[in-house]
Amino acid sequence: RKEVEQDPGPFNVPEGATVAFNCTYSNSASQSFFWYRQDCRKEPKLLMSVYSSGNEDGRFTAQLNRASQYISLLIRDSKLSDSATYLCVVNKGGSYIPTFGRGTSLIVHP
Amino acid sequence: DVKVTQSSRYLVKRTGEKVFLECVQDMDHENMFWYRQDPGLGLRLIYFSYDVKMKEKGDIPEGYSVSREKKERFSLILESASTNQTSMYLCASSHRGTIEAFFGQGTRLTVV
């Protein structure tokens, strides 16, 4: 089983839609979680951190489910500019090594 | 504004050449990382460093080495470039005790 798994998509949604991505991780010792956004041919950029209590930033909500070992990202009222690849990041076991999922592609169309 | 700078955006090298990819960060970060990113494979860790002069192998270190002589600089070396090392190379850095990493703009390396 891979350390961090994501559905590659693409998720093709109309503007204004709500879309959610999940990311599962295999190591129960992991305790740090983030979502990154990567635009085509650009570097990944931090989107938001993920806490046990959930984290909301405008239209974006990130949540952690430790029991089932997954994190989620919810995007409400999708914009064309949200089109990108979304990468989840988990620390490798008890270390501080960022381990990335392969990313989920989101395409928002008019 | 935090900054991680990679020396080249695009690079074309010949098979067998020794290639140096440089990365400099201005955030006084302890941790530095080198990844390569290939379609369908995501980001894979090549090497990382938690401190000056320190280096650890990542998941795919074969054919690569690294150097960290100063805290702000982390170099990736391809000892003898091969066509299967054609890829996007991404350098990242973070503070000790966190995985919140900041990336350079990437170097797209083509080996011919």
- Chain A: nearest CA to B94, how far in angstroms? 9
Q: Is beta strand B56-57 parallel, antiparallel or unpaired with respect to A104-109?
A: unpaired
Question: Would you call A32 an interface residue with chain B, using a CB distance cutoff of 8 Å?
Answer: yes
CA B101 from centroid of its chain's CA atoms: 13
Residue with tokens 């990041």: A89
Q: Provide the pLDDT for residue B38.
A: 96
Cβ-based contacts of A99 with chain B (< 8 Å) = 45
Which amino acid type is present at position B62?
Answer: E
Residue in A52, A15, A30 with CA at minimum distance from that of residue A101: A30
Copy the structure tokens of residue A70: 């997954």
Give, as one character, the DSSP assignment of residue A82.
G
Q: How far is CA A98 from CA A33, A63, A108, B30, in A?
A: 9, 18, 28, 14
Strand partners, A33: A90
Q: What is the pLDDT of residues B34-61, one digit of tens each?
A: 999 999 899 999 999 999 999 999 999 9
CA distance A39 to A75: 16
Q: Note the helical H segments in chain A.
A: none
The model's pLDDT over B62-110, given as tens digits with 9 standing for 90+, comes to: 999 999 999 999 999 999 999 999 999 999 999 998 999 999 999 999 9
Q: What pLDDT does B83 receive? A: 98
Location of structure tokens 């002069």: B53
Instruction: Give the residue numbers in B contacting A (CB under 8 Å), as ranges.
Output: 31, 33, 35, 40-43, 45, 48, 58, 90, 92, 94, 96-106, 108
CB A72 within 8 A of CB A63: yes
Low-confidence ranges of chain A (pLDDT < 70): none
CB contact under 8 A, B100 and A99: no
Facing A98 at nearest CB: one of B40, B96, B99: B99
In A, which residues are within 8 Å of B102 by CB distance? 46
CB-facing half-sphere around the CA of B102: CA atoms within 13 A: 18
Query: Residue B94 has what pLDDT?
Result: 95
Q: How far apart are CA B110 and CA B87, in angstroms?
A: 7
Closest CB to A102: pick one of B31, B41, B90: B41
Q: Give the whole-angstrom CA distance, residue A32 versus residue A49.
A: 8
Q: Kindly state whether A44 is in contact with chain B, defined as any CB-CB distance less than 8 angstroms.
A: yes
Q: Judge: B99–A89 Cβ closer than 8 Å, yes or no.
A: yes
Chain B residues with CB inside 8 Å of A41's CB?
108
**Predicted local distance difference test score (pLDDT) of residue A59:** 98
Amino acid code (one letter) for A50: V
Contact (CB<8Å) B42/A100: yes
| Distance separating alpha carbons of residues B73 and B53, to the nearest angstrom | 11
